[in-house]
């Protein structure tokens, strides 16, 4: 009897040891595949870049197809094994969705490497080219997903969020410059400095150009610019963090704190939901904008519907991201759209929505939703209504008030100062109103021009400098010192004049920390702008102070408007403008915080004294 028990116990121990061995083997294989799959995907991405960047995609390249089949064959085996092993692990809803997408991608890989693929798809038909293009898109998406999953582990460590934010822009600019240097991206080769400048302008959603976007870049080059604008507008970390969260199914506290700072959000608990909402709203607005722009355009301007669609998509993304890039040589001043006021109105609305800021958009949506539900309940005679204190955040109120004031003042100023200048080309009342409205919107970090800026009157140029310097609202795709910063400065001035010891706005008191931060941003921006103007004036003094100052203000606020000197600047001045665009996009204060060690909390105070002014 004791022997039976001993044998049973020995068998149980063997079974448990087997489970431990299989679990360790399972983890070991997954660890190996975590290096093999990204490596194979990297090689696949290299093949995609080679074929698109150096060869004709529509051609028949035996060398590429040979190595592509080998890489994809190995990749299909590796992904298949990993998907089988990961199927035994608990997953979140989004992780299960990515798992299904992985099986679909595995099916595409398997069909491509099968010896009988010629039976499945005709090699000489456009169907196979479309299939191959779909496969390439899957490779790129898989590569980005793997990179994002790696970033998830970086987020979990003690890394400065500001440093991550700044580093992501640097890497994206370098990658964009490399892609723009590919032979198939341009009609004729461009210099390295021009490629880096264009990539910086696209990633920093500025719109300043040193080469003609319409003639120097091919359709492939325009597609690269579109991707750079989209990633730069929302930030590469937003998309990468979104995919990382979806794949991992969770987010650590450090990850959420990092995104709280990057997305200018006040909440931590639902920050990843906020990131999802940002991406969804962006794609929604850009999609609706694409449709509206498509409708407003004349079919006779395009040889194919595909060209018209890409033109609409490019300008919708560029407008919402406040980039100011256009695939017309003269921007929106080109004759086909110069007098298309409906098209200009749609672009202006997208600029306003993109520059408003996502926290403000969501706060307005919540406000209108609750007010609408309460109105519905009142009509039905139901006394129960929803009520939330501080329904509209003070930040949203301040940003909206400043934005509306700037738009109104800019609109009136444009009507007054440009009657004998740029408005002479628009004799109709509709033309004057739309052009003036567009003229008040575009210097708020947008960069599109529907008029010849060199013909603009001097008072309006000076007013543009102010509008460009203030820029858009926080948490948006635009730049500048932000509307809230300017609003706090004005409120502080009013409080000082009236002898008040605090700043009140809509029955709320603005914190002392916010006031300090606002004036630090203002001082840093003026110092940097002054240095940039000084450096450029040393190398290009013949351009004149008005032109140089306009260029620097435009670059710092990521506007993209120019009086026509960008392409003629010297090498040193171009580098200075690039640095100005970068600093304006990431923020001078963010840049300093990322590299300067932060002081700990001080537990002492010195005696206070008044300073004479």
Residues 6+ apart with CB under 8 A from 182: 49, 52, 53, 54, 220
For residue 388, pLDDT beyond 60: no
Coil/strand/helix, residue 504? strand
557: which DSSP letter?
A: T
Range from 46-55, 240-249, 296-305, 374-383 carrying the lowest mean pLDDT: 240-249
> Do the Cβ atoms of 262 and 161 come closer than 8 Å?
yes
Joined tokens for residue 229: 């604008």
What was the pLDDT predicted at 446? 81
What was the pLDDT predicted at 291? 94
Q: Which one is predicted more confidently, 508 or 297?
A: 297
499: which DSSP letter?
A: T
Q: Which one is predicted more confidently, 230 or 26?
A: 230
> Do the Cβ atoms of 468 and 341 come closer than 8 Å?
no
Joined tokens for residue 605: 């105070």
For residue 12, pLDDT beyond 50: no
Name the band, by pLDDT with cuts 50, 70 and 90, for residue 21: very low
User: Average of pLDDT values for 264-278?
Assistant: 62
What was the pLDDT predicted at 592? 72
Range from 128-137, 199-208, 369-378 carrying the lowest mean pLDDT: 128-137
Summarised one tens digit per residue, pLDDT across range 309-358 is: 999 999 999 999 888 899 998 889 888 899 999 999 999 999 988 888 77
> Do the Cβ atoms of 318 and 229 come closer than 8 Å?
yes
Range from 229-238, 266-275, 445-454, 559-568 carrying the lowest mean pLDDT: 266-275
What was the pLDDT predicted at 148? 65
User: Average of pLDDT values for 124-151?
Assistant: 68
Name the band, by pLDDT with cuts 50, 70 and 90, for residue 116: very low
Q: Residue 413's CB: how many other CB atoms inside 10 A?
A: 20
What was the pLDDT predicted at 14? 47
User: Average of pLDDT values for 26-50?
Assistant: 76
What was the pLDDT predicted at 288? 93
For residue 76, pLDDT beyond 90: no
Summarised one tens digit per residue, pLDDT across range 471-520 is: 888 877 777 888 889 999 999 999 888 888 888 888 788 888 888 888 98
Summarised one tens digit per residue, pLDDT across range 546-582 is: 999 999 999 998 888 888 898 889 999 999 999 999 8
For residue 524, pLDDT beyond 50: yes
Exposure of 216 by Cβ count < 10 A (0-12 exposed, 13-18 middle, 19+ buried)? buried
What was the pLDDT predicted at 5? 45
Nearest to 470 by CA among 408, 561, 558: 558
Coil/strand/helix, residue 562? coil
Nearest to 163 by CA among 523, 586, 475, 555: 586
For residue 295, pLDDT beyond 90: yes
User: Average of pLDDT values for 149-158?
Assistant: 60
- Alpha-carbon distance of 348 to 565, in angstroms, equals 25
Joined tokens for residue 272: 């990843």
Please, what's the b/e burial string for 573-587 (b: 16 or more CB within 10 A of its CB; e: otherwise)? bbbbbbbbbbbbbbb
Percentage of the chain modeled with pLDDT above 70:
72
Q: Which one is predicted more confidently, 543 or 387?
A: 543
């Amino acid at each position: 009897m004791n022997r039976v028990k001993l044998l049973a116990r020995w068998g149980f121990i063997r079974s448990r040891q087997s489970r431990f061995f299989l679990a360790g083997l399972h983890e070991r294989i997954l660890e190996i595949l975590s290096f093999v799959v990204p490596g194979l995907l990297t090689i696949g991405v290299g093949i995609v870049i080679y074929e698109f960047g150096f060869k004709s995609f529509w051609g028949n390249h035996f060398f590429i197809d040979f190595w592509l089949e080998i890489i994809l064959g190995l990749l299909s085996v590796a992904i298949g094994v990993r998907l089988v092993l990961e199927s035994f692990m608990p997953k979140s809803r989004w992780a299960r969705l990515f798992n299904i997408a992985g099986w679909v991608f595995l099916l595409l890989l398997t069909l491509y490497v099968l010896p009988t693929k010629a039976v499945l798809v005709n090699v000489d038909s456009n169907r196979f080219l479309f299939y191959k293009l779909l496969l390439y898109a899957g490779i790129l998406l898989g590569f980005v997903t793997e990179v994002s999953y790696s970033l998830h582990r970086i987020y979990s460590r003690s890394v400065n969020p500001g440093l991550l934010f700044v580093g992501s822009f640097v890497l994206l600019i370098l990658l964009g410059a490399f892609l723009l240097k590919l032979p198939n991206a341009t009609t004729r080769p461009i210099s390295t400095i021009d490629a880096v400048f264009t990539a910086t302008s696209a990633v920093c959603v500025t719109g300043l150009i040193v080469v003609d976007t319409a003639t120097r870049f091919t359709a492939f080059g325009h597609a690269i610019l579109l991707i750079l604008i989209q990633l730069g507008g929302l930030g590469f970390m937003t998309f990468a963090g979104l995919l990382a969260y979806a794949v991992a199914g969770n987010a650590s506290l450090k990850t959420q704190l990092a995104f709280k700072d990057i997305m200018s959000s006040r909440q931590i608990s639902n920050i990843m939901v906020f990131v999802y909402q940002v991406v969804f709203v962006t794609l929604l607005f850009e999609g609706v904008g694409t449709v509206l722009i498509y409708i407003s355009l004349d079919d006779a301007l395009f040889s194919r519907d595909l060209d018209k669609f890409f033109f609409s998509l490019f300008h919708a993304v560029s407008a919402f991201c406040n980039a100011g890039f256009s695939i017309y040589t003269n921007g929106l001043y080109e004759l086909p759209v110069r007098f298309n006021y409906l098209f200009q109105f749609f672009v202006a609305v997208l600029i306003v929505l993109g520059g408003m800021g996502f926290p403000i958009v969501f706060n307005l949506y919540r406000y209108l939703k609750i007010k609408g539900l309460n109105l519905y309940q009142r009509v039905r005679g139901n006394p129960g209504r929803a009520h939330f204190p501080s329904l509209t955040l003070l930040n949203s109120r301040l940003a909206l008030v400043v934005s509306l004031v700037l738009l109104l003042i800019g609109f009136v100023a444009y009507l007054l100062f440009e009657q004998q200048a740029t408005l002479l080309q628009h004799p109709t009342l509709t033309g004057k109103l739309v052009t003036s409205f567009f003229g008040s919107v575009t210097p708020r970090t947008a960069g599109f021009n529907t008029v010849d800026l060199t013909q603009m009157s001097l008072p309006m140029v000076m007013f543009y400098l102010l509008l460009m310097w203030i820029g858009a609202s926080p948490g948006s795709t635009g730049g500048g010192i932000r509307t809230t910063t300017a609003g706090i400065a004005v409120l502080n001035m009013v409080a000082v004049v009236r002898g008040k010891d605090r700043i009140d706005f809509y029955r709320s008191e603005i914190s002392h920390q916010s006031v300090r931060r606002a004036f630090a941003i203002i001082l840093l921006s003026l110092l940097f702008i002054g240095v940039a103007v000084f450096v450029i004036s040393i190398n290009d003094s013949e351009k004149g102070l008005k032109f140089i100052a306009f260029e620097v203000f435009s670059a710092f606020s990521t506007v993209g408007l120019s009086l026509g000197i960008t392409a003629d600047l010297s090498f040193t001045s171009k580098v200075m403008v690039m640095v100005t665009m970068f600093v304006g996009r990431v923020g001078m204060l963010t840049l300093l915080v990322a590299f300067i060690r932060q002081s700990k909390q001080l537990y002492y105070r010195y005696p206070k004294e008044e300073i004479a002014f």
